[in-house]
Amino acid sequence: MNGTLIVAFLRHRMTTPIRLAFLIVAGFFPLLFIAAAPAMGFAPIADSFQFALIFGAGMIGQDVSSGVLQLLFARPVRRDVYVISRWLGASIGAAAAAVFQVGLATLILSARGAAPGAEAVAITLADHVASAFGATAPLLLLSALVAGLGDIGLLFLLYTSAGILQAAGGGLGHAFISRIGVELQGFLNPTLHFVLVLNGHPSWHHLITYLSTVTISIALAIVLVNRKELSYASSS
Amino acid sequence: MPPHRDATGSSRPWPRILMIAAGALLIARVGTGIWEDQHPSAPVERPGQAAGKELVQWQPLAIAESASRALNKPILYDFSAEWCGPCKLMSAEVFADAKAADQINTRFVPVRIVDRTHEDGQNVPEVQTLQDRFKIDAFPTIVVYSPATGRHESMTGYGGREGMLEELTQALAAVNRPASPDSAQ
């Protein structure tokens, strides 16, 4: 982990106008639903996937396409440290946005006479932070695979494929095809639901699936970045 | 200047520990997945709750309408899904609470409907028909429906135990109002 890389990454993210615009829309739009229908509780803010996209999209790919990576690796920076710092930077940014959003949602619900209990707030916060750290991991892997913002396209393609597999499995009556789609979708947006533990249904599989997705994504991203041959004459 | 090479002198070391962890977790993932498919976990006791017991007396969908007419109580449909976090929270705070469960059992014919689209790609026809009928597109959704008056009230999302019980009281009053020609649904 490299604190300087993380801070620089977050500073870049917070000063990019298009990302800021998306951040404001993704952060405040669901709050309008909460204000209009407080009985829905935290339901309109399901997870932190949108924040992970805003902070994480192109986290490595843009460095590759802009030539920053060549300059960066001319400095005393190990590649695995760079990759992990990128993931942490995107995760911290997404988690901070999610915490801010949950805080505002709690205030709105309280003001509208539907104050959530402390347990509900704590669970929602924990779920959203876990979602932020989880969703940025596969995005890191995709960003190491393709240059620029190609990771968003790849993510969309994989999500669509997962949906098609689920629908096809259901239509053809083959549960295993649906299961492949479900697993693929779960890989692209790993989440933890702490309420499962509180509800008396602790699941090791649920926890291990999350940790497995995150570690596989980071490990493969490091391998991919390690294998990149960079030169000023090359674009990748 | 911080070191940028590992013990072998490489600036791009193989992430050995991470790969071992990822491999071990992948094996554990498959193992626990198979184990939990074959051995569904029993609920664990929480303070103030009865362990492993469903306090709400959920009724089968097939007998809901006839039970509702016989007992003169509206049906409470709980539309939920396995992956739905707020549904679990609502279960923990409302359906596993003895006082709330008692109110529900006394005033309604409770029926739980679990959406399986995410897991199986589709629902069984009876469930899908019911979801289409009440236009269910988010979870959790509670529908209070009276076959006697034909009225129903829907509540989407979960905003806390007290709020939900209050809404159930209002829904009960609303669906029990006799249907009039201009307000029939």
pLDDT in tens, A46-80: 788 999 999 999 999 999 888 888 888 888 888 99
Q: Are strands B75-81 and B141-145 parallel, antiparallel or unpaired?
A: antiparallel
- Interface predicted TM-score (ipTM): 0.79
pLDDT in tens, chain B (185 residues): 454 566 666 677 788 888 999 999 999 988 887 887 776 555 444 444 444 456 888 888 878 887 788 778 889 999 998 877 778 778 877 888 778 888 888 888 899 998 888 777 778 888 888 898 898 888 889 999 988 888 899 988 887 777 788 888 888 888 877 655 544 44
pLDDT for A59: 94
Q: Is the pLDDT of residue A155 over 70?
A: yes
pLDDT for B185: 42
Are A105 and A38 a contacting pair, CB within 8 Å? no
Q: Which two tokens stand for residue A76?
A: 């005393």
B7 in contact with A at a CB cutoff of 8 Å?
Answer: no
Residues of A with Cβ-Cβ distance to B79 under 8 angstroms: none
Interface contact A127-B85, CB threshold 8 A: yes
Question: What three-state secondary structure class fits B136?
Answer: coil
The DSSP annotation for chain A comes to --HHHHHHHHHHHHT-HHHHHHHHHHHHHHHHHHHH-GGGBTTT---SHHHHHHHHTTTTHHHHHHTHHHHHTTSS--HHHHHHHHHHHHHHHHHHHHHHHHHHHHHHHHHTT-PPPHHHHHHHHHHHHHHHHHHHHHHHHHHHHSSTTHHHHHHHHHHHHHHHHHHHHHHHT-HHHHHHHHHHHHHHS----THHHHTT---HHHHHHHHHHHHHHHHHHHHHHHH----TT---
Q: Which of A11, A31, A16, A24 has the alpha carbon at shortest distance from A51?
A: A24
Read off the pLDDT of each residue in A89-109 and give the average, rounded to a whole number: 94
Interface contact B88-A170, CB threshold 8 A: no
Interface contact B163-A39, CB threshold 8 A: yes
B74: Cα within 13 Å, side-chain hemisphere: 26
User: From the list B25, B49, B117, which residue is nearest A212 (CB)?
Assistant: B25
pLDDT for B41: 54
Question: What three-state secondary structure class fits B91?
Answer: helix
Gap from A129 CA to chain B (nearest CA, Å): 14
C-alpha A206/C-alpha B36 separation (Å) is: 10
pLDDT for B83: 75
Contact residues for A204 (Cβ-Cβ < 8 A; gap 6+): B28, B32, B36
pLDDT for A82: 93
C-alpha B155/C-alpha A37 separation (Å) is: 10
- Give CA A210 to chain center in angstroms: 12
Q: Which two tokens stand for residue A15?
A: 């000063």
Helices A79-111 and A118-145: angle between axes, nearest 10 degrees: 150
Residues of A with Cβ-Cβ distance to B32 under 8 angstroms: 203-205, 208
Residue scoring higher pLDDT (B95 or A201): B95
In B, residues 47-106, which contact A (CB 8 Å cutoff)?
49, 51, 83, 85-86, 88-89, 91-93, 96
Q: Tell me which of A212, A217, A220, A224 to substitute to probe the interface with B (most B C-beta atoms closer than 10 Å).
A: A212
C-alpha B1/C-alpha A220 separation (Å) is: 28
Q: Name the band, by pLDDT with cuts 50, 70 and 90, for residue A156.
A: very high
B170 in contact with A at a CB cutoff of 8 Å?
Answer: no
C-alpha A72/C-alpha A68 separation (Å) is: 6
Q: Tell me which of A81, A178, A203, A205 to substitute to probe the interface with B (most B C-beta atoms closer than 10 Å).
A: A205
C-alpha A43/C-alpha B114 separation (Å) is: 17
pLDDT for B179: 58
What's chain A's length in residues?
Answer: 236
pLDDT for A196: 61
Using the 8-state DSSP alphabet, how is residue B107 labeled? H
Residues of A with Cβ-Cβ distance to B7 under 8 angstroms: none
Q: Is the pLDDT of residue A86 over 60?
A: yes
Cα B36 to Cα A202, B25, B28, B31, B39: the distances in Å are 11, 16, 12, 9, 5
pLDDT for B107: 87
Q: Which two tokens stand for residue B175?
A: 């669906």
Amino acid identity of B65?
E
